[in-house]
Structure 1
Amino acid sequence: MNDVIYMFAMSLDGFIARPDGSVDWLDAFPADAEFDFPAFEASVTGLVMGRETYEAVRRQPEWSYARWPVVVATRRPPADLPEGVETIDGSPADMLARLRRRGAAGRIWMFGGGALARQFMEADLLDTVEVGIIPVVLGSGLPAFGGAQPDRWLDLEFAKGLKNGAIHARYRVRR
């Protein structure tokens, strides 16, 4: 599979993080083995993420993305990049080209955040949206697709209610 997929978790009211970028609310939610995350990860050949998302995952005790080439979209490159991570100040097409040159020959995980997802959608470079909808209302936060954009329709490929109360859904972006 050679597509670009935005796979993420969001609250019932459409937020991927609190206003400060925290995803602590996800820690309070029980995982569900039906959401086969290891199989998803095995299908990925590279990651692209925005600077804020990068900063959030760097706060974790361990860098969990060393198995893939990673491109961070930013105008302010961070100082201490893990091995395999590069920064780029360019378009979504530039980001994908960089990953392809680095050996990401298959599925690319557009890791986040919402503003970058919007850019990929507007550039018509996002193929699939896969989401875990968590049954919590945050009230405010960072939206799944940040900023204004024209209407964009998607076709449902799969949806399933999980035992933990979440909904796992996958959509194909209409062309």
Structure 2
Amino acid sequence: MQNSLQGIELFKASVSISHQENCASGTCIDKNLLENYPPELIVGFQLLESVERSGTRRFAIHCGSADNQQHNGLLAWVFNTDLRYSFKDTSSASRSISAKCAMKVFYKHVANVQPLVNPDLGMPSVTSLEELRLPLHIYHCIKTVLEKSTSLLPPSGRKFGEWEIGLLDLESA
């Protein structure tokens, strides 16, 4: 419940879909039949939509509330929205080489995102920065996915100055 808006806020990355008919109350839902997607895929498409809609490529991603409390977060810069990469699929018996579509994201950890998203009166604001507030478990998922993808890159491609480089897949596994 979001008190300031007096409504319920749904986070797309936490939604599951049921295709069962004649089940209006939700009590007959078989959780094994729910369709859901990895949170990083949904958040990746949220970032992509924002890039295409407003041209914004820098994001303050955090799990904080709307108050002005200090919250850790990520400063993310969507560098490339259409990156194809190949990898050796060790999960299949054939161990074939597969290709995936992803977005290349430069990111860095920020101890307090509040001055970035809500600067003090008289302080300059970052005009090309969009806030992406996520539930704690989804924030940790995104952070973990970016960090794991960084470790998959060759050592020379893991950092750019003060930025770490990661990938967000835009295809479901």
TM-score normalised by length of structure 2: 0.24
Tell me which of the two structures has the higher relative contact order, counting C-alpha pairs closer than 8 angstroms and 6 or more residues apart. Answer: 1
TM-score for the superposition, normalised by structure 1: 0.24
